[in-house]
Homo-oligomer: A and B are copies of this chain.
Amino acid sequence: MAKLIDGRVIAENVYVELRREIAELKSKGIAPGLAVVLVGDNPASRTYVRSKDKMCRALGLHSVKLELPVSTTQDELLARVQRLNRDPSIHGILVQSPAPKHIDEEAIVRALDPGKDVDGFHRENVAKLVIGDASGFVPCTPLGIQRLLIETKIDIDGAHVVIVGRSMIVGKPLALLLMQKNKNANATVTVVHSRSRDLEKITRSADILVAAIGQATFVKGAHVRDGATVIDVGINRLEDPASERGYRLVGDVAFDEVARKAAAITPVPGGVGPMTIAMLMSNTVKAARQSLPRSGALPATS
């Protein structure tokens, strides 16, 4: 049976570090601040935004939660973003996706100050990831996956990582992150997707297999070689009348049969999910740190 990679425990370790760093920044007169903007009343989005706000408060981060009505126009939203760009108490800005249909999300992301784009979706940060410029922000889910692997002491250097799915949020940035000429990277990376031939054969060659295709239990035992590490990014709702809520959450991996072959595996929930929010907090602290003058200290402390 595979070892369970517990994202909640690893996220807690990240928070211990972050608390230390937040205290240090506060001693220099900076309280890292995150603004989360939600347009409309999508219930899932409300839940996400609330849990981000709660986590900020638990860590002692300055948290601003802007809940705007669904009638908010593109121009009004742009004006809000620009105000947050100029606000020195805010170091990270996140506009919760999906926005209502009349909002051009790409244009909103482009309007963000790249130095406050803690989601890592601004073109400036996308390019920095390709180039390998460490001052940029890497999207939270790929960053969380890398951290899970590091903390679990799974060797990435030289390993064959096969990523199922080529999204802008997970597949592509994770591929770019793990192929970097860098410690905790240097992987051989393959990206497979809906159009790939011989998908099973390729996933079976993975030392580390990442499922991020958004289809419940897509990855079966036959996709996985004995002893592989399996990271499950999917969060899918399956109807389940036996459950209290009427549904249960399953990943992109058929957990039971894959766990019998893998050496290590993340559960859903409790695997990648907690790491994604931990990395959002980490990126906000990084943004605050990078807002300090170049010397690394505030003028007042010199």
Q: Does A107 contact B (CB under 8 A)?
A: no
> Which chain B residues border A181 with CB–CB below 8 Å?
166, 193, 195
Minimum CB–CB distance for A65 against chain B, Å: 29
Contact with B along A189-204 (1 / 0, CB 8 A): 1111101111101100
> Within 8 Å CB of A186, what residues of B?
193, 195
Would A157 and B188 be within 8 Å (CB), given that A123-B124, A202-B205 are in contact?
no
Query: CB of A179 within 8 A of chain B?
Result: yes
> Interface digits, A151-168 against B, CB 8 Å rule (1 contact, 0 not)?
000000111100000101
A111 at the interface (CB under 8 A from B): no
User: Restricting to A112-154, which residues have a CB under 8 Å from any CB of B?
Assistant: 123-124, 126-128, 130-131
Q: How far is the CB of A95 from chain B (nearest CB, A)?
A: 17
| B-contact bits for A163-180, CB 8 A (1 contact / 0 none) | 000101000100110010
Minimal Cβ-Cβ distance residue in B for A128 = B123
Q: Is the CB of A188 within 8 A of B192?
A: yes
Known: A127-B123, A127-B124, A197-B158. A188 touches B202 (CB 8 A): yes
CA distance A9 to B141 in the complex (A): 46
Tell me which residues across on chain B come within 8 A of A202, comparing CB atoms: 160, 188, 205
B188 and A188 form a contact (CB under 8 A)? no
Residues in B with CB closer than 8 Å to A201 are 205
A189-B190, A193-B188 known; A198 and B160 CB under 8 Å? yes
Whether B179 pairs with A191 at a CB distance below 8 angstroms is: yes
Once the chains are docked, how many angstroms separate the CA of A191 from the CA of B158?
A: 11
Nearest residue (CB) in B for A180 is B166
Top-4 shortest CB links A-B: A123-B127, A190-B190, A188-B196, A126-B127
Binding site for B on A (CB under 8 A): 123-124, 126-128, 130-131, 157-160, 166, 168, 172, 175-176, 179, 181, 186, 188-193, 195-199, 201-202, 205
